[in-house]
Chain A
Amino acid sequence: EDQVTQSPEALRLQEGESSSLNCSYTVSGLRGLFWYRQDPGKGPEFLFTLYSAGEEKEKERLKATLTKKESFLHITAPKPEDSATYLCAVGYAGGTSYGKLTFGQGTILTVHP
């Protein structure tokens, strides 16, 4: 059974305090691993897609990495506006559409000024 587990459930940081969020996955054939940001009462906002182990992608203060079993979202020198829930999701190979994703439960990030 495909599973996605994110840790920690919640993370509180001081502004400028770098850290990482973890996403562990078990999937029968990975088609892509997705990171999204979700603000309260809003739909998820696309951040990254990673396809193969060793791949890395960056966007501003965020950097996503992928291994065969997990992905990390590194946040460098976070700011209060980075506070949100970060969702990890996997799409599996063999399906007719990559968009049928299995989501983790999310990590609630709070960055204090």
Chain B
Amino acid sequence: GAVVSQHPSRVICKSGTSVKIECRSLDFQATTMFWYRQFPKKSLMLMATSNEGSKATYEQGVEKDKFLINHASLTLSTLTVTSAHPEDSSFYICSAEDRRNEKLFFGSGTQLSVL
């Protein structure tokens, strides 16, 4: 079964609203989680690294005030897309690092559509 749970799987919102996406590691503690963005028929682009108990590290070109990341516990990281606009529409995927076996597990993704 899935070891990383991501919710919601799909969300449609109006322009200007904020959307929160949750990523949970189910049977291991993840001090580090990652958020990726994927455009249709394109590969995954890393947006930010989420570290439990500290600020997230954003990749170049990613607006940290637009994409708020919170990693308040060892099993939960959230990505909030603030004041969403149509250009934010994309497939967002989280991943969690299981350091017991150096495996990286991905959530099932969230398809965000901003109208």
Number of A-B contacts (CB under 8 A): 57
Interface residue A72 (Cβ < 8 Å from any Cβ of B)? no
Within 8 A of A (CB), among B60-115: 91, 93, 95, 97, 102-109, 111
Give the docked Cα–Cα distance between A79 and B46 (Å): 32
Q: Are A99 and B6 in contact, with the CB atoms below 8 A?
A: no
The range of chain A's interface size is 20 to 34
Q: Are A104 and B43 in contact, with the CB atoms below 8 A?
A: yes
For A41, what are the chain B residues with a Cβ–Cβ distance below 8 Å? 91, 109, 111
Q: Are B95 and A99 in contact, with the CB atoms below 8 A?
A: yes
For B102, what are the chain A residues with a Cβ–Cβ distance below 8 Å? 32, 49, 98
Q: Are B43 and A97 in contact, with the CB atoms below 8 A?
A: no
Question: Contacts A99-B95, A99-B97, A100-B49 hold; do A46 and B104 have CB atoms under 8 A apart?
Answer: yes
Q: Are B108 and A98 in contact, with the CB atoms below 8 A?
A: no
Q: Are A42 and B108 in contact, with the CB atoms below 8 A?
A: yes
For B93, what are the chain A residues with a Cβ–Cβ distance below 8 Å? 43-44
For B34, what are the chain A residues with a Cβ–Cβ distance below 8 Å? 99-101
Give the docked Cα–Cα distance between A42 and B44 (Å): 12
Task: Known A-B contacts: A41-B111, A87-B43. Give 13 more (CB < 8 A).
Answer: A41-B91, A43-B4, A43-B109, A44-B93, A44-B106, A49-B102, A101-B34, A101-B104, A102-B46, A103-B43, A103-B44, A105-B42, A108-B41
